[in-house]
Amino acid sequence: MVQVDPTLIPPDEAARLAAVRRYDILDTPPDGAFDRITGLAARLFGVPIAIVSVVDHDRIWFKSHHGLDVEQLDRAPGLCASAILHDGPWVINDAPNDPRALANPLVAGDFGLKFYAGVPLQTADGHNLGTLCILDLKPRELTPAESATLQDLAGMVLSELEVRLASRRALARADEQVKLQDAFMGMLSHELRTPVTTIYAAAQILSGNPAIQADAQARDLFPDITWESERLLGLIEDLLVLTRLEQGRLAASREPVLLQRVVPKVVDHELRRWPGRHVDLEVPADLPPVAADELYVGQIVGNLLSNALKYSSRETDVHVAMRQVDGEVEVRVRDRGIGLSPESREAIFELLVRTPEASRYAAGAGIGLYVCRRLVEVMDGRIWAEPAPDTGSVFAFRLPVAHE
């Protein structure tokens, strides 16, 4: 192992080497951005050699080496190892006659180095990673203007390093975010949905048990258990859609779906949650199939119908109608509830938006309509809200007719 002169070791060496590792630059392939800087430096200063160096614990590694066919040198007695001890330019004007450079192999050997000027690549937290240096085979002076130019070029090198560090960190964060989202989806799908489904199914079965019906308290509690567990299931499904959207994984099948079969099933299911309510269903028998995902269609209709029942009086009915319009099939859910202001009709389809009237009337998360819009859009359809002819609101969506 190469022994490094203790006088050439910066006082912050451990932290400096940690910074070198943080930038992850050692032993990386050639890079045009750094090569352009060393090429520019050679032309600006009229020197044959320009180098971007990184000082490791026992070597000086060259990220870019214009005019020199060497990838690294021992740290001792390297000139760059001395340059990183300083905050500004470190210059050797006449190397064969300068005691600081006599032991360097490029000076003492056949190479014949005469001039060296290096500027440390100093990080924002004050650690010198290496240098941008220029070398010449003849003695020369570095003017103040040239010194300032060399420092500017060193700043460009450090900026490139910072960009790469920021990019790596962003990719790492993105990767971690994907893992967290996958974990969240797994939790929703298995750790939450499975037990809630079990609770819901058990509550439905037990609610019809004669022993439960005979107990006044149980008879009173079981409808709430069934209601809340089903509500949680719906919320979990909506959250799964949001997570897929965030990951860019939301996709829909394009199978032929007969809405005249799907929608009545959803209506029957919702009415079991709303005993005493009535839904008028207008279903033409000859509707063509739509190109859609049946699960998504059920989720959309369920959300719209649940809202219509939730935000209207128990004494009123909800009307669901379907019709073919040009190359699409339209589903309309009409209630006689709290209605919508004109300025709310677009906003309510955004995430976490609830109108003041809705917030006062019933609890909600502001997720369902946003999910409906995104599901309709992924199936190449459209969704909107409009005022009902007398009172209340109409929520409607259209999906394209399936073509063989």
Residue 253 has what pLDDT? 75
Residue 365 has what pLDDT? 61
> 375 with 252: CB under 8 angstroms?
yes
Residue 168 has what pLDDT? 83
Q: How far apart are CA 225 and CA 273, in angstroms?
A: 11
Strand partners, 134: 50, 117
Pairing verdict, β 290-292 and 115-122: unpaired
For the chain, the C-alpha Rg in angstroms (whole number) is: 36
Six token digits for residue 307: 């809202």
φ, ψ of residue 340 in degrees (nearest 5)? -135, 140
Q: Alpha-carbon torsion 288, 291, 296, 300, what sign?
A: negative
Residue 1 has what pLDDT? 45
Instruction: Provide CB contacts within 8 A for 188, sequence distance 6+.
Output: 236, 239, 240, 243
Structure-token match 């070597």, residue found: 59
Domain regions of the chain by residue span: 6-142, 172-250, 252-404
Residue 358: which H helix or E strand, with range?
Answer: helix 356-361
The beta-strand segments (E) located in 137-266 are 255-257
pLDDT tens across the length of the chain (404 residues): 455 666 678 888 999 999 999 999 999 988 888 999 999 999 999 999 999 999 999 999 999 999 998 899 888 777 898 999 998 999 999 988 888 887 777 787 778 889 999 999 999 889 999 999 999 999 999 999 999 999 999 999 999 899 888 888 877 776 766 666 666 666 666 556 666 667 766 776 777 778 777 777 777 776 667 656 666 666 667 766 666 666 666 667 788 999 999 999 989 888 877 878 899 998 888 899 999 988 889 889 988 998 898 888 888 999 999 999 989 999 999 999 888 888 788 888 887 777 777 777 666 667 788 888 888 998 999 999 988 888 889 999 999 998 86
Angle 294-310/368-378 helices, nearest 10 degrees?
A: 150
φ, ψ of residue 401 in degrees (nearest 5)? -65, 140
Q: Which fold has domain 6-142?
A: Beta-Lactamase (3.30.450)
Q: How far apart are CA 66 and CA 60, in angstroms?
A: 15
Say which CATH superfamily domain 252-404 falls into.
Histidine kinase-like ATPase, C-terminal domain (3.30.565.10)
CATH number belonging to the domain at 172-250, selected among 1.10.287, 3.30.420, 2.170.240, 1.10.3470:
1.10.287
Per residue in 13-28, is it b (16+ CB within 10 Å) or e — as a string? eeebbebbebbebeee
Name the nearest CA neighbour of 319 among 389, 370, 253, 229: 389
Residue 32 has what pLDDT? 87
Six token digits for residue 71: 């990838």
Q: How far apart are CA 314 and CA 136, in angstroms?
A: 91
Residue 25 three-state SS: coil
> 355 with 348: CB under 8 angstroms?
yes
Residue 231 has what pLDDT? 64
